[in-house]
Amino acid sequence: MPALHERRPLGLTGIEVSPVALGCWPISGMTSLGVNDADSLATLHESLALGINFLDTAYCYGADGESERLIARALRGRRDEAVIATKGGIAWGEDRKMIRDARPETLRRHCEESLRRLETDHVELLYLHGPDNVTPLADSAGELKRLMNEGKTRSVGVSNFSLAQLIEFHAHCPITAFQPNYNMIQRQIEADSLPWCRENHVAVAVYWPLMKGLLAGKLARDHVFDAKDGRAKYSQFQGEEWVRNQELIDRLRPIAEECGRTLAQMAVNWTIHQPGITSALCGAKRPEQIRENAGALGWRLTADQLARIDAALEERGAAATMRAVT
């Protein structure tokens, strides 16, 4: 596949990123099966070769920063080829339970440790991974602004925020990028935060464009999840939601075939061409996976195809909130 070097502005920074980003959670080995360093490094190198320059990671991607450490290894001697985004404010406790901590001292510690792991003196984008609902947003924003002023990050972003939280944070520190979940059937941001981001020149880099692989269409109706596969706990992979999603896949598949693309490529292409979307984070742990993701670049769905997709989505109806079911 030829390199596709389409670029889009990252807010008002002057930095340009690929419309498809490499989501670097899978290479951490935390929840993905069959992860190894050789494949992960090959995936990172293949991303750059394909023109995907936007690498998205986080302090908590790995029990000991495995994702960031692998990125550092892949970028030795070629750091200037990549735009690195990392996140702080979430870590793992000794019991492997998630700890949300957006206090200024924690954000600074996470940032400085991430820079050491990444073997760099700065990142292009540093996100608050999510509010902890205890620390005032003004305190978190103030510390991230200080880190930006010190040159440890070129810009600041936020993830998993409501519209009200975006507005409050932005009043204390300029937001360059927002990272919410978004895909064909989870489109809540279109009603509130996405218009605000467009009005304020904030880039939107979305995660779950394939809804954790569901929209790739590779899971049969009778699929049995491995006990270690975390997707089984989510409502979209159970009961009536699972049935409705499979019916949607059946309606979308002929459109993808008409395009000469895989379902995953069509779903990502649809996502990156929605108004206000800057980039879609596509996770991968092997080179062939990022090659498929790159196939979403360099083409457009026709008006007729978009209309048929809209009809299929309307028939499917609004998706339930993506929540874990115990």
- The residues assigned a catalytic role are 61
Rounded CA separation 140/101 (Å)? 10
Q: Write the DSSP symbol of residue 324.
A: B
| Kind plus residue range of the DSSP H or E element containing 185 | none
Rounded CA separation 105/161 (Å)? 21
Taking the mean position of all CA atoms in its chain, how far away is CA 222? 28
| Token pair belonging to 108 | 């600074």
Return the number of other C-beta atoms located less than 10 Å from residue 68's C-beta. 27
Helix (H, G, I), strand (E, B) or coil at 295: coil
Structural Rg of the chain based on CA atoms: 19
Rounded CA separation 201/195 (Å)? 10
